[in-house]
Chain A
Amino acid sequence: MEVGRGEKENQELLESFLSQFDTLEDAVNALQDYAERQNKIRRTGSRTLSHAATVVDVKDLAKSYKLGRQKITALNDVSTQVRAGEFVAITGASGSGKSTLLQMIGGLDRPSSGSVVIDGKDIAKMRDGELSRFRGQTIGFVFQFFYLQPFLRVETNLEVPAMFARIGRRERQTQAKNLAQAVAIDDRLRHFPRELSGGQMQRAAIARALMNQPKILLADEPTGNLDSKNGAAIIELFEDIRERFGTTIIVVTHDPAVARRADREIRLKDGVIL
């Protein structure tokens, strides 16, 4: 069951929000920025969520696997929908099934039962090759540990998804430059990942995820390996991306600050949505 936010909860969130800033002025500035962004969204009409199409439709999804003789149920009868351009946070304790749900949506794993319809296509019924192609074109992945190839320059790292999509070299180089600019690492393109800070690495990983202009961006604990400042910056980047490209963003997170920035939060416990 999806939940709204109660008064008490809002107060807790406010306190938590204020604790991120050194002064009240900083907090007010941040709120003003947020309000401006929201206004901008309203003005441009890029987020007409109530009218947007459903891009992710999870129905009666279950996933169980065997661990030795024990049967583990990771997801149990999960149903949810995500609309185009929505920023959704999946939260829950460790082992609640949030990463499994993300992987199911990303088509990295097959459900035991139920269906996952992405952009109108039931990916559970796709064959491996078709699914991979679909994933490469429709979904972008961002990981907690970035997973950049250490022996490739940042620019080449960005191009990797385009390589699998057989996009021409010139085209993907242009795209990599544009994305690097969008995530503010264009001065780091010729560097190797080891020469980048954690925040820069995650920005590069996000740029890589956006390489094939996916409709959906899936992020698994994207701020889990970053300090709060860089974490906040990454979330801002997600918002910016959604604003610019209209990308649907689904983030798995432990971080309440991230969850708060989302349009909606899906809470999971023991494989079911609360």
Chain B
Amino acid sequence: MIRFRDAIVLAHTKLRVRRIRTGIAVGVSGLLFGLLLFVVIVAQGVFDSIDRFSDEGLNDRTILQVTRSGGAGSFNLYDERHNQEFIAEVRVAHDQFVKRKQAAAKKYDISYDPKTEDPSPIGIDPDTKQPAISDAGYSSDIVNKAAAARSKAEYKPFDIKKYIHSYKSARVLGEFMQVAPSDGYLSYMKDNKEKLETDADPSRLNKNIATDDSQALTVLEGSLTKPFISSKNFDAKKGEIPVVLPYSHAEKLLGLKKLDADASNEQRVQRLAEVRERISEVKASFCYRNEASQSRLAEATMQVSDIKRNQTSKDYQRPSVIYKLPSENDCGAVTITSDTRTAAEKKQATQRELYEKEIGTWPGDPQQQKITVRGVGVSSDFDTSGSVWSISEFIKSMLGSHLGYEAWAIPADLLAQVPLEYRPNAVFEKADNLDTSGFFMYETHLVEFADKVEARQLLEKTGGIFGGYGDDDVSVLPFGSGILFVDELRRMFIEFMVWVFVAIGSVALIILGAIIGRTIADGRRESAVFRAIGARRVDIGVIYGTYALLLSLRVALFALLLGVLGALIIHVAYGEQATFGAQLAYAASDTSVQFSLFSLATWYIPLIILAIVGVGMLSSLIPILLGARRNPIRDMRDDT
């Protein structure tokens, strides 16, 4: 058989005939494969960069947020409004309450007429003509208490361990606990000030709503917050609660003006570094008030308002007890500045307090405490000035590592070091899952998986990689990072690229097959001459096989050139933006890490090159076999 080196010499001449046709074939095939290589190089750059950033945030961990929706399987007041057994229970409770009030009123000399009692929470349903809980009944304390008691009796706690027991690599990290006082409110003190306006609506001080004015606080296991902590000098003895804040919140609290939309990437990354470095300067306050303190404050603010409004009115009679509002910076107690009540009036007030305590309507003693939080770390957020469609925004939204939307996360391990007097149980102890109407609230647990496959299985059970609701009112969502999404993306990408390759390969097979077939047909006279001067069939096959190889290598080289060039252009154009996006997405502690949109470090590139050559060789197979069988005499005769 002819030596390969000599076959190359002879095969190379085939590339020089019909140059335009060969050029088009190489161009079209190269363009198709080039597109494929371009996507692979860019995607590999992205995946490599994600791996590089995996040390940041929670990207090296697979955590799912497993939530059972509130009230699952428990007593539902609305559904049970016609439940005659429950109605009978409410009726008895109502009658007993009235009797208890009568007795207590008599005991403490309080005037009480049962006729003035609120209407019975039980009415007649106009449709069924049967007793049912009336509309007013839904807001009745007696009805709600009875419903809550039933709910509690029927409530089966969400057994998270049982729920995940079939996933061997899963472990429960703990409950995702939002700081929610069981009695009263925890309100954010914007600019270290408490809202004391008379129109202050207690619901606006809602403990859980994250708005510009109030933040949700979440206690998270220490290992979850650790990657985000940049402050090294947190001193728990100072009595401040440590928090990890979203980047934009920290920036605002540091008094830094938000960067302009056209700020350079360098400026943005510098800003991120500055915020991380200065995070310990972030200080904010919350005010905790129990129900009694809250209603006393509401009463006091109304009184102050009344007095102010009636300053000039001669008919206005000032209340006998005058309150003084606390300083707006203190979250202090409402104090009494003057008490002009008579001894009888004071006695009556004492009697009423005892009466209310006896019938269970006394709100308790006012309690309030200022809670100071101190920044210890920065997490990523979703609030940026960039366009939603920019590269950086895409990376941030898909790949970011965060600790819950807009939440301020308290590291549980650092919190435990704070002296108890600064972290009152009323605020930080886990509250009952019941809400005020007797409905159970959501129960959320964080579960970590050592095996990503298992995590994906659980996600898919509840609706796919982005999570969703499954059976038993349980929803599952990825927490902390988009690592599962990235893995899924990687898997889908490979699957997709295989199909793209098959499609492109098929087209290339036809194109290259046609050109090689044509070249062999055109070269039949030359093959005949070669046969005459000593070539065997196998030599002819080797020459054309080598020709197919050279042609395929040209296609591969052209494709590689296009792919590399295209990816480089994309990298130069968007690499910096992507780096910025990634650094913000991961709230990177190391701002020197680059996010590249270009990487050749993948087996897929040589694999694709080999596949291109394989396609070329495959396409040459049939023409070569047919060509080798030809009769050289006939070919010589046909041509002359």
Q: Which of A111-119, A144-152, A196-204 contacts B (4 or more CB under 8 A)?
A: A144-152
Contact B633 A164 (CB under 8 A): no
Nearest B residue to A109, CB-CB: B633
Are B526 and A163 in contact, with the CB atoms below 8 A?
no
Q: Knowing A108-B532, A147-B525 touch, does A129 contact B13 (C-beta < 8 A)?
A: no
A-contact 0/1 string along B532-565, CB 8 Å cutoff: 1111111100000000000000000000000000
Contact check, B10 vs A163: say whether CB atoms are below 8 A apart: yes
Q: Is A263 an interface residue (CB 8 A)?
A: no
Q: Which one of A21-29, A41-49, A53-61, A135-143 contacts B? A: A135-143
Do B537 and A208 touch (CB < 8 A)?
Answer: no
- A156 in contact (CB, < 8 A): yes
Question: What's the least CB distance linking B520 to chain A, in Å?
Answer: 15
B1-24 near A? 1/0 per residue, CB < 8 Å: 111001001101100110000000
Question: Whole-angstrom distance from the CB of A135 to the nearest CB of chain B?
Answer: 6
Least CB distance, A211 to chain B, in whole angstroms:
8
Measured CB to CB, the closest approach of chain A to B632, in angstroms, equals 6
Closest A residue to B14 by CB, please name it. A151
Chain B residues with CB under 8 Å of A135's CB are 532-534
**Judging by beta carbons under 8 Å apart, are A144 and B533 in contact?**
no
Complex Cα spacing A103 to B636, Å: 11
Q: Which residue of A lies closest to B631 (CB)?
A: A109
CB neighbours (8 Å) of A147 from chain B are 525-526, 529
CB contacts (< 8 Å) of B636 on chain A: these are 143
In the complex, A160 Cα to B622 Cα: how many Å? 26
Determine the chain A residues whose CB is within 8 A of the CB of B529 once the complex forms.
141, 143, 147
Task: Kindly name the residue among B3, B526, B533, B633 whose own CB sees the greatest number of chain A CB atoms within 10 A.
Answer: B533
Task: Name A211's closest neighbour in chain B (CB-CB).
Answer: B533
Asked whether B13 lies within 8 Å of A151 as measured between CB atoms, the reply is yes
Is B167 located at the chain interface by the 8 A CB criterion? no
**A163 contact set on B, CB distance < 8 A:** 2-3, 6, 9-10
Question: Is B632 a contact partner of A108 (Cβ separation < 8 A)?
Answer: yes
Q: Which of B3, B10, B538 contacts A129 (CB 8 A)?
A: B538
Q: How far is the CB of B389 from the nearest CB of chain A, in Å? A: 53
Are A132 and B9 in contact, CB atoms less than 8 angstroms apart?
Answer: no
The reply to whether B536 and A165 form a contact with Cβ atoms under 8 Å apart is no
B536 touches A152 (CB 8 A): no
Q: A149-B13, A151-B13, A164-B530 are in contact. Are A129 and B537 (CB under 8 A)?
A: yes
Chain A residues with CB under 8 Å of B533's CB are: 135-136, 140-141, 160-161, 164, 208-209, 211
Given the contacts A152-B9, A152-B13, A156-B9, A132 and B3 also touching, CB distance less than 8 Å: no
B193 CB–A CB distance under 8 Å: no
Distance (whole angstroms) from the CB of A72 to the closest CB of chain B: 12
Residue of B nearest to A137 (CB): B534
A167-187 residues with Cβ-Cβ distance < 8 A to B are: none
Cβ contacts B605-640/A at 8 Å (1 or 0 each): 000000000000000000000000001110010001
Q: How far is the CA of A144 from the CA of B1 in the complex (A)?
A: 28
B352 within 8 A of A: no
A115 vs chain B, min Cβ distance (A): 19
For chain B residues 1-53, which have a beta carbon within 8 Å of chain A? 1-3, 6, 9-10, 12-13, 16-17
Q: How far is the CA of A161 from the CA of B526 in the complex (A)?
A: 13
Q: CA separation between A148 and B626, bound complex, in Å?
A: 24
Q: Is the interface of B mostly helix, strand, loop or mixed?
A: helix
Give chain B residues whose Cβ lies under 8 Å from the Cβ of A212: 534
Contacts A147-B529, A156-B9, A166-B3; A108 near B633 (Cβ below 8 A): yes
Whether A106 and B538, one on each chain, are in contact in the complex, defined by CB atoms closer than 8 angstroms, is no
Residues of B contacting A129 in the complex (Cβ-Cβ under 8 angstroms): 536-538
Q: Is B278 located at the chain interface by the 8 A CB criterion? A: no
- Complex: how many Å from CA A209 to CA B529? 11
B171 interfacial contact with A, CB 8 Å: no
**At the interface, yes or no: A191 with Cβ under 8 Å from chain B?**
no
- Our pick among B9, B13, B534, B632 for the contact of A136 (Cβ within 8 Å) is B534
Closest residue to B12 on the A side, CB-wise?
Answer: A151
A133 and B13 contacting across the interface, CB-CB below 8 Å:
no
Q: Which of B12, B16, B534 contacts A164 (CB 8 A)?
A: B534
Asked if A227 is at the interface (CB within 8 A of a chain B CB), the reply is no
Q: Does A128 contact B (CB under 8 A)?
A: yes
Inside 8 A of B2's CB, which chain A residues have their CB?
163-164, 166
A108-B532, A161-B534, A164-B530 are contacts. A145–B13 as well, Cβ < 8 Å? no
Closest B residue by C-beta to A141 = B532
Question: Are A128 and B532 in contact (CB-based, < 8 A)?
Answer: no
Query: Contacts A106-B532, A145-B640, A208-B533; is A164 near B539 (CB within 8 Å)?
Result: yes
| B531 contacts partner chain A, Cβ-Cβ < 8 Å | yes
Closest-CB distance, A252 to chain B (whole angstroms): 13
Q: Which residues from A are CB-within-8-Å of B1?
A: 166
Smallest CB–CB gap between B405 and chain A, Å? 68
Known: A144-B640, A151-B16. A108 touches B531 (CB 8 A): yes
Within the assembled complex, what's the spacing in Å between the Cα atoms of A38 and B319?
A: 155
List, in ascending order, chain B residues with CB within 8 A of A161's CB.
533-534
Chain A residue at minimal CB-CB distance from B538: A129
Q: Which residues of B contact A160 (CB under 8 A)?
A: 10, 530, 533
A166 to B2, CA, bound (A): 6
Question: Least Cβ distance of A111 to chain B in Å?
Answer: 12
Which residues of B have CB within 8 Å of A144? 640
Question: In the complex, which of the residues B536, B633, B640 contacts A103, with contact meaning CB atoms closer than 8 Å?
Answer: B633
CA distance A141 to B528 in the complex (A): 11
Asked whether, in the complex, the Cβ of B640 is within 8 Å of the Cβ of A165, the reply is no
State the Cβ distance, A110 to closest chain B Cβ, in Å: 10
Closest to A129 in B: B536
User: Are A149 and B539 in touch, CB under 8 angstroms?
Assistant: no
A13 to chain B, nearest CB (A): 29
B residues 410-426 near A (Cβ < 8 Å) are: none
Q: How far is the CA of A51 from the CA of B447 in the complex (A)?
A: 103
* A149 touching B535, Cβ below 8 Å: no
The one of B17, B525, B536, B631 in contact with A132, judged by C-beta atoms closer than 8 angstroms, is B536
Minimum Cβ distance to chain A for residue B534 (Å): 2
B632: chain A residues within 8 A (beta carbon): 108
Q: Which residues of B contact A (CB under 8 A)?
A: 1-3, 6, 9-10, 12-13, 16-17, 525-526, 529-539, 631-633, 636, 640
CB pairs A–B below 8 angstroms (14 shown): A109-B631, A129-B536, A132-B534, A135-B532, A137-B534, A140-B533, A141-B533, A147-B526, A149-B10, A150-B13, A152-B13, A160-B530, A164-B534, A164-B536
User: 6 closest Cβ contacts across the A-B interface?
Assistant: A136-B534, A163-B6, A132-B536, A151-B13, A164-B534, A147-B529
Given contacts A106-B532, A132-B531, A160-B533, 10 further A-B contacts (CB under 8 A): A129-B538, A136-B534, A140-B533, A141-B529, A147-B526, A147-B529, A151-B12, A151-B16, A163-B10, A209-B533
